[in-house]
Structure 1
Amino acid sequence: MGICTVLYPLKVSKTKLAWFALAPVLSSSPLAFALTSIEAGQTLTIDSTTAQDNYRARDGGVLNANDSNTYEVLITTGSQLNVVGGTYAGRSGNAGITLVNARADVSDAIVTGTRMGMSIARATGTTTGSTAVISGSRITGQTSGIETGGGADIQLTDTHLTGTGANSFGLNSFGAEVRAKGGSITGGMNGIRLRPDGEGVGSGANVTLDNVEVRGVAGAAILANGEGTAQINVLNFTRLLAGNGVLLDVQAASTATMTVADSTLEGNINVTGNSLANLTFNHGHMVGDVIVDGTSTADVTLESHSQFTGRLDQVDSVNVSTDSNWTLTGNDSIGALGMNGGTVSFGAPDAPATYYQLNVGTLSGNGTFAMKGDFASGEHDFLNVAGASSGDFALAVAASGLDAASPQQLTLVRTGTTDAANFALAGEQTVDVGTWSYGLASREIGGGAKEWFLDPTTEVISPGARSVLALFNTAPTVWYGELASLRDRMGDLRLNGGKGGAWSRAYGSKYNVADGSGVGYQQTQQGFSLGADTRVGESDVLIGILAGTSESDLNLDRGTSGTVKSYYVAPYVTWLGDDGYYAHGTFKWNRFRNESKVNLSDGTRAKGDYDNWGLGGSAEFGRQIKLADGYFIEPFTQWSAVQIQGKRYTLDNDMQADGDRMRSLLGKAGATVGRNIGFGHGAIAQPYLRAAIVHEFASNNEVKVNDNVFNNDLSGSRAEFGAGVAVAMSEKWQVHAGVAYSKGEHIEQPYGVNMGLTVRW
């Protein structure tokens, strides 16, 4: 219905004024009031001292009101109203301020009416409307805060519009151009109603909202109806609030184009009654649904990092681009899906047990589909393209700690034609499914259709399973790395003639464990030992104890890592014979703290940890054979055995790990050659070289990952080489430094270093 009503007074001087309604939109009560009239070429200024009255300006008259307290103000036919402060109250069905083909500049005013608070209209048959610039004001009416006619141009700044009636509107626009910045627009039914002008004046009912709160107390925040067109711009933190949960309601063969930029919306958009909605989000966010009935259409575009979470069922077209994201909350069917660097997510991350199917008529462009599945039950998300598809798309499949019940049935995508679309797994080109990682394969299924599915023939051990196997495999190398510090102490005793003392060792080493052991990884260890020993009486036997700690870092593929923190204590005994024979023995107890951090194929991280203990012993026998000029050769054999407690634990992605007790039986045979070099004043240096053959006899250390059985096998032989120097600087002080290298089938030690200090009693 067009806004075309004009109200004319019967006389032009201070007299009785009859108000006639020429159209229903701006109809007024026919009550008569005395008024003050401002005619062509006249200017009237009123203020707070002016008696309360009602005013009319026409034919170019100007009314200036400063902090005035008035009744109705009518401004017509090219006249001007300038308001600064004051109150303007309409009575008996009249607006506080009415403009008809006129202009008003209003600031800091309170305007009320018993129908609309302010009417901004045009006369019937005219092609231009009124203009209003309003700031810092409050405008309230029973049916609407402001009601406009076609062609009106309205600018609102920090102004509050309120419709107080149950069926009222904050802004009731008939083909006007409205720009609001700050403030609020509230209606008892709808915050804003947008309709066309009854005579087709104006380009449509257009509204731009910049950091404005729009509220429909009982109904939608914005209503577009009446077979018109509406352009709605929701900008800069604008809030749309609706009593019925509908942010935008497009009805009755209307067309609404809405752009949401830098704003966050929560609620639904309804498109009904043969209507059309074009929705564009530009760095905008919305949580809710676009609901389209069978007679209407809607198009949705997400641009510039926009986020839409909700249903778009029966939407004609969806375009997702520029790092934007559409998150499904149900099974949807849409006409066309176009992508340009965007992502479609099948469900929110905080709803991992929900799975959706997206049916698409046509698919084009390039982008990512973020999908998930319960690989234990076989439930999963599914993309179904009925018609033509083209472009390159990544499938970002959520990793799982659960094994796939039937990997060949995990079909992720089906397309109706095979000519131009390509799908690949995102990132690492595999997806972690419990114990295994799978690649993607495709197959034709007849009629030109094609499916993409996780291929069970491509399985490799997943990073999660590798971390589990590595942690269970690491304890023996940790145990032996710590034991090496004690063996070096035994060499010191043979240098100083078996005198007890207090000692310390700092050590570090690296191990490369090959895939043939069950899983490959790199282990870097560093630690520190403290010990003390003393001779038993006058015998050739010394007893002692050591304690220490070490930390080993594991580096696996794809950023997966692990850490083993070890705490240990060990009593030991040594016998040094007069003829060069010697024997050493120890029992060592360890407490291990094991932690794994797994980088999964979807970019997330899983963690797990457990504690366990280890107990083992070592015995070494040998003889130091002295040669001329201080040289010596020292053949030896060493036997060590350790058992590591088995453990069952769960990673936080539900992967189950169960390690059996791990055992190691290590035999070593070799020789050390060196020379004792005296420097006077009792100082002696002992450089040495060592070589040995080492053999691991234990070969069956079982680990289960999600009930898949693996064998951590470190058995086999390796060669070991070492060099170092011990220096007795005096009767009391002694230092030591050494390096080591070993190489075998399953384990390589690129380096091992240790440094120590001894203080003799």
Structure 2
Amino acid sequence: MPTSTSTAPRQRVLASAIGLAFATLAVSSQAGTVIGTNQTIDAPGDAAETWTVSNTGSLTVNSGAATNWILIQGAPPSTGPSTLTTNGATIISTAPGAGGGAPPAAVTIENSNATISNSTISSATNAGIQLVGQTTAGLIAPTATVTNSTVSGFQYGISVSSNGVLTLNNSNVSAGTGAAGGINGGVVNFDSTVVATGGTISGNISGVTATTTNLTTETTSNTTLSGVSVSAATGAAIVVQPARPAAPFEGHTANILIEADTTLTGGNGYALQATGLITANATIDNSTIVGNVSSDGTATLNLTLQNNANLTGSLANINVLAVNSNATWRLISDNTVGTVTMNGGNIDISGTAVGTPTTHTLTIATLSGTGTFLMSTNLGTHTGDLLNVTGTAAGTYQLHVRNSGGEPTNLSPLTVVQTGGGGAAFSLVGGKVDAGVYSYTLEQQGNNWALVTNPGSPEDPGEGDLTPGAKTVLGLSGAGPTVWYGEAAILRSRLGELRIGDQSNSGVWARTFGKQYNAKPGDGTSYRQTQYGVIGGVDGVVGQSWGGTWLVGAMMGTSHSKLSFDNGSTGGVNSYTAGLYATWITKGGWYFDGLVKFNHFVNSADVIMSDGTGSHGGFNNNGIGMTLEFGRHIEFGNRWFVEPYIQASMVRIGGDNFSLDNGMQSSTSHTGSVEARIGAALGKTIELSGGALLQPYLKLAVIQEFVSNNKIMINGLGFNNDISGTRVEFGAGVAAQLRHNLQIYAEVETSAGHKISQPWGAQVGLRYAF
């Protein structure tokens, strides 16, 4: 390790001594010297031969060649920088150094240049590579570029001093245990510049150490780690410290950039530690780091997270923390930080405690900028994370609050932000926090901010601000009747066809349809239901009685309904149906239709909660219903007809218990519907050439729903799906008998009502008679 005295840097004296000794020492015939000339070593080389290069000399070690240690000199008495180039070489330091001492670094670069590629360099007693020299004017700083190589050493893998520049490309550098109490690291930067891209750097006490030996001059080291895996066996991945613990060491600064998916793994759980009288400016850029970052309180440590960086760990004695450009700091425990600035970054206060009963408190001295704080609450137990700014808070921030737990019983405000003033503005992501059935909003209370709610009364809980989950559950639980009626209406249209054409033949038929409903079943719930399906059946004449013809049939089909809610939540109902029907028609136009239909429903809920996160759930249930209709087809002049009718329907949809994966529980016993309909159709039968018949018509009906009490329990609170009320339906269609055994059909319709309306509906179909 380079050292200095109070009058001249010790590292200069040491470097000069090394140079003089190596230049004058003739250890044996196995010591090569290059003075001002060029020398090339080809395979196999000599693993016992050491080399000293000086006076602008150049040494090239080619692929497959082996040598012992190499010294490249550029400081006096050398007359200028020398050069080392290796490609595929093996350099292992085992021979004694000057005066017969311990083997030196495998490669020593003194005020000279080295380009090392695809090589293996190792020392069991010293550094693998050492960049040293004098900082006297006129001398170049030592530089080395190491590419696709493996370097290992005892105390250091590579050490860089004297304003040196080390460039590592996809190389693996490691250090052993080193001497007790000394600085150790895969790469050790003494007030110089290190740029490492790819590869690995590992050591015992640290992977990378940024340090200094200069006692009197303000110096700066720069270390860039780009896509590198850095690790330490027993200490922090990165250590920043002066080489000596005593003053004066003020003014030294270590700048460290950790970028491009670099990873840091410390054996003691620390990604970076700074100690002693030194300033460390660390930046994590577009990398994911798991580990603590700390100062001992003597070092000044400034930390910046930027460009989607992620840091999970505790911070200790941080002077200034900057969280910018979508970077995130995730806490693992309570933390205290001095100054925090934010510019589009995130601080996840709940961090690793998400989904657990543990809460975190982040205490900040001063806060400024713009950003987002992620927090967790359990409003069921009235607990949560806390942002505590003891001084002033300025800027604009969003709180992304994730709630878990049961239904709240303590409805008093829950403070989530405390400040000492400063005018900061806080708001909730999504504007609300979901807590079971009800939503909470953020309210400023003096210098603090709290979550508050306005639930409904026990007599009418639906008066409160319901969460998207509660609204979705309410809507999905009450959608069964509209699904059932949407399918049943197809059969009514089918039976209407029988009043045109030959009624004596059996036949098969099929319909495809689409409809949209807008529903407001009460308790603050509204949704849009879009239904598509196909229904088919077979029927035939079974006899005559009471002056009319009886026809019976069986039908089956399927439909899919999508429920869309205002905040983007959706529900789905896959319906599978089968039924029996009968119709009685007289020559005088009287008719009676009856239908019994069974349904199996597969229901699913996809909730987008107020904070934008999702929740899912589903259940299956069954339903059964019947429809009875009585009317008359009355013809008058010029083949015009009118068809008045009355209809009664009753549906019962079975209940079920189900839950969303956010913990919301729902229970229903059943959902019922009883409807009465009175209406009429007006149309004209047109006979076309060839015997075809065309029957266009208009229809109008008034529908009354009588059931107003469909109870549902959500998280133990009672709600009501009330679909009662009156609506008016209008439609137009055409039935055509193209041949004696082929009929086609098309219809469009719309309806308007207070709680249920149908903006549009359409269906087409055909029947083929045997």
TM-score range relative to shorter protein: 0.7 to 0.9
Task: Indicate conservation of the 8 Å contact 2:300/2:318, yes or no.
Answer: yes
- 1:193 is displaced (CA, Å) by 4.0
Alignment of 1:414-563 (within 5 A): 414-417=418-421, 419-427=422-430, 429-444=431-446, 449-456=447-454, 459-496=464-501, 498-499=503-504, 500-514=506-520, 516=522, 519-539=525-545, 540-563=549-572
- Between 5-14 and 511-520, report the one with greater CA deviation: 5-14
- Aligned position for 1:21: none
SS at match of 2:381: coil
Distance 1:252 1:126, change over 3 A: farther
- Within a 5 Å distance, the mapping from 1:110-259 to structure 2 comes to 110=121, 112=123, 114-122=125-133, 131-136=142-147, 138-147=150-159, 149-157=161-169, 160-167=172-179, 169-197=185-213, 200=216, 203-223=219-239, 224-225=241-242, 226=244, 227=249, 229-256=253-280
Cα deviation for residue 644 of structure 1 reads 0.7
Once the 2 structures are TM-superposed, how far is the Cα of residue 627 of structure 1 from its aligned partner?
A: 2.3
Q: Which moved more, 1:34-43 or 1:682-691?
A: 34-43
With over 3 angstroms needed to count, the CA separation of the structure-2 counterparts of 1:134 and 1:695, relative to structure 1, is closer
SS, match of residue 610 in structure 2? coil
- 1:392 equivalent to 2:404? Answer no
Larger displacement relative to structure 2 (604-613 or 499-508): 499-508
The residue matched to 2:475 in structure 1 has which SS?
helix
- 2:274, 2:301 within 8 Å by CA — same for their partners in 1? no
2:662 corresponds to: 653
In structure 1, the partner of 2:376 is 372
Gaps of 5+ in 2: 5-10, 457-463
Is contact 1:720-1:740 (8 Å) kept? yes
> Aligned partners of 1:477 and 1:648: how far apart in 2?
21
- The offset of 1:563, in angstroms, is 1.6
User: For the residues of structure 2 that align with 1:603 and 1:231, how far apart are their CA atoms?
Assistant: 38
1:573-615 residue CA offsets vs partner (Å, 9 max, x unmatched): 2222343322221211111111222111111121221111111
For the pair 1:610 / 2:619, whether they are aligned, the reply is yes
Gaps of 5+ in 1: 18-31, 257-277
Aligned equivalents of 1:61 and 1:675: distance in 2? 111
Give the TM-score taking structure 1 as reference length: 0.85
Contact 2:666 2:714 in 1 (8 A): yes
2:354 partner SS: coil
Check the 8 A contact 2:513/2:761 in 1, yes or no: yes
Structure 1 residues 382, 757: closer, same or farther in 2, change over 3 A? same
Q: Give the Cα separation in 1 of the matches to 2:763 and 2:170.
A: 74
CA contact (8 A) 1:409 1:453 kept: yes
CA separation of 1:220/1:122 partners in 2, compared to 1, >3 Å: closer, same or farther?
Answer: same
Is the counterpart of residue 411 in structure 1 residue 420 in structure 2? no
Deviation of 1:155 (Å): 4.3
Provide the rounded CA distance (Å) in 2 between the counterparts of 1:333 and 1:81.
51
3-state SS in 1 of match to 2:604: strand
For 1:698, what is the secondary structure of its paired residue?
coil
Cα deviation, 1:272-318, whole Å, max 9, x if unaligned, reads: xxxxxx32223233222223445554322222222222222442332
Say if 1:128 and 1:152, in contact at 8 Å, map to a contact too.
no
Q: How many residues align?
A: 719
Go from structure 1 to structure 2 and tell me whether the alpha carbon gap of 1:596 and 1:328 turns closer, same or farther (over 3 Å shift).
same
Are residues 1:283 and 2:286 paired? yes
Q: Distance in 2 between matches of 1:531 and 1:71?
A: 93
TM-score (norm 2): 0.84
Q: Aligned-pair distance for 1:483?
A: 1.2
Q: Distance in 1 between matches of 2:54 and 2:30?
A: 13
TM-fit CA distance, 1:639: 1.0
Structure 2 distance, partners of 1:118, 1:498, is 101
Identity of aligned residues (%): 33
Q: Assess, with a 3 A threshold, how the Cα gap between structure 1 residues 487 and 291 changes in structure 2: closer, same or farther.
A: same
Shift of 1:649: 0.7
In the alignment, the residues of structure 2 paired with residue 72 and residue 654 of structure 1 have an alpha-carbon distance, to the nearest angstrom, of 69
- Aligned match of 2:114: 105
SS in 1 for 2:487: helix
* 1: CA distance, partners of 2:23 / 2:305: 59
The alpha carbon displacement at 1:674 in A equals 2.8
Mapped to 2, the partners of 1:50 and 1:608 lie a distance apart of 72
SS at match of 2:626: strand
Q: Call closer, same or farther: CA 1:360–1:457 in 2, change over 3 Å.
A: farther
Q: Deviations over 1:403-452 (max 9, x none)?
A: 333233322212222x521112223x2222221223222223xxxx4333
Q: Separation in 1 of the partners of 2:34 and 2:501?
A: 122
Deviations 1:462-483 (A, max 9, x none): 2211111111222111111211
8 Å Cα contact 2:264-2:291 kept in structure 1: no
Q: Distance in 2 between matches of 1:669 and 1:39?
A: 112
CA distance in structure 2 between the partners assigned to 1:213 and 1:219 by the alignment = 15
